[in-house]
């Protein structure tokens, strides 16, 4: 009986992610304490310390993965993680012309709408600041080329 209750609980949790109407009715109430905690940060070091907590995204990820150049071995991989590029890649921020201009305008409106629904003041100004910050991150990221970003470092000499 306990096992069945556990399975039902897992199913209810999974179904709750697709309950758009229910989520919209609940609104931002359950997020307000987290938002207030972030907004109360006094400086960058305080924000950085929060990134180490469970539930916050770190700037970099590190872990073992299969080497794409040699699938017979594992390598330690360091990657940028959670850097907040909501548009997915640097091209959406930096490329000229359509469809990029339209995507940027829609994304800026989306950020503003999220901030408004969260009840934050100055949503337009804050959205622009967030978007500008993401653009700055995107411009600092080099073009990805699988061979250019793969470099092996020896931890010790083989004897």
Q: For residue 66, which phi and psi values (nearest 5 degrees)?
A: -75, 135
Q: What secondary structure letter does DSSP report for 86?
A: T
**Where exactly are the structural domains of the chain?**
84-146
Long-range residue pairs from 38-41, CB within 8 A, at least 24 positions apart, any chain: 39/120
> Does pLDDT of 149 surpass 70?
no
What torsion, rounded to 10 degrees, do the Cα atoms 136, 138, 141, 143 define?
Answer: -140
pLDDT tens, position by position, 28-50 = 777 778 778 888 888 888 887 87
What are the residues whose beta carbons fall under 8 Å from the beta carbon of 120, sequence distance 6 or more? 35, 39, 126
């Amino acid at each position: 009986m306990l096992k069945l209750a556990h399975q039902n609980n897992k199913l209810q949790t999974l179904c709750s992610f697709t309950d758009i109407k229910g989520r919209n009715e609940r609104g931002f109430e359950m997020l307000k304490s987290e938002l207030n905690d972030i907004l109360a940060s006094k400086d960058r070091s305080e924000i950085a310390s929060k990134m180490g907590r469970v539930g916050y995204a770190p700037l970099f990820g590190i872990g073992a993965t299969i080497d794409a150049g040699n699938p017979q071995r594992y390598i330690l991989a360091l990657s940028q993680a959670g850097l907040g590029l909501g548009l997915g890649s640097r091209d959406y921020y930096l490329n000229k012309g359509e469809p990029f201009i339209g995507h940027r305008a829609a994304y800026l409106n989306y950020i503003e709408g999220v901030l408004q629904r969260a009840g934050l003041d100055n949503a337009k100004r804050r959205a622009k600041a967030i978007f500008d910050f993401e653009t700055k991150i995107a411009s600092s990221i080099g073009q990805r080329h699988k061979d250019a970003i793969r470099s092996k470092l020896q931890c010790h000499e083989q004897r």
